Structure 1
Amino acid sequence: MSENDPFAGLPPVPSFTVTSKDIVEGQPLPLAQLSGIFGISGGQDISPQLSWTGAPDETKSYAVTVYDPDAPTGSGFWHWAVTDIPASVTELATDAGNGTGDLLPSGSIQIPNDARAARFIGGAPPAGHGPHRYFIVIHALDVESIGVDPSTSPAFLGFNIASHILGRAVLTATAETKG
């Protein structure tokens, strides 16, 4: 596992709290959050339930990202990205990232991940590559809309988030496929 820090080059901001009924901080992802699409036996590609509290009062919207900095790509792998979540929303249901958008708050934009699918793709570290970290992040933003096109990349979304972020809540899980 690499020790790269996905937040190292980002502005420091206050933290707030994110929890999940599906994922435990620091623990392996359950099968439901692993990727059957990418060949993990029993993987279901179901996005986790997420709840957050304590975001800055000035928050006007949220973005949610799921990122694996340990993917053997040279640039990590973005598993999920949703933006323009209204400030009144503080929870996403299990499987909100199902690709249909029917469980996402009205006005939210689910953008394509690094597999170019506008949905949640579960963890799928290559067999024998070692443990991977999955950073599930709620970004509190100072704008109602980040202003990105629905076909934008998660990296470009992250670039735009950096200039509008008020706070960040992080939940980290792991996965490893034995070789």
Structure 2
Amino acid sequence: MVIGIAAGACFAVLIVLIRTHFTKLNQLGKLLQSEIYETTDLFPKVDLDDNIIVLSYNAPIDYLNVKFFKKSMLRILRRKINDPTALEITEFELATFDPDQTGSNQTSPAVSGNKGIVLDCSGIKFVDSVGVDGIVKILQEFEKSNWNFVFSNCTDDFLRSFSSVASFEILLRSFPTVHEAVLYLKTL
């Protein structure tokens, strides 16, 4: 009986880890004649902007899944621009990214142009210090490739994670809704 309870508890912990740390990064599109953005998997007739990618992630970003998160973002961007060799520098930096190594928390200024990525953070409930470093590194890498990167629907805990490590530029890139973030990127 004790073995059964222990096996059940281990199985439950394993399922929780898998479900929270390996969720899918979804691309969002605008529902026709509205300001609502929904996943393209569930709503195939959404309006997709050619120069702006809207993404949603529904899991914490921490030590266990920051590499998975970065790979998912690169895969979606490469598919969007139809170039599998795009962002080779990013792929190299991704391969050499070490979550144990802390990097600079300074981000570069916003890139001029109309290509942009919006990350809907409403599903990101927790970000640890490695996740913060990973997101800052992602932001820097995409800006090197002339992609503007902004955040929307950020929870207080998400924003507090960035303010606690003095990465205040993230706070300036945060918008209350996806639609406002998209409108901002269209004005650049």
Normalized against structure 2, the TM-score is what? 0.29
Q: Which has the higher contact order (CA 8 A, sep 6+)?
A: 1
- TM-score normalized with structure 1 length: 0.30
Pair member with larger Rg: 2
Greater helix share, structure number = 2
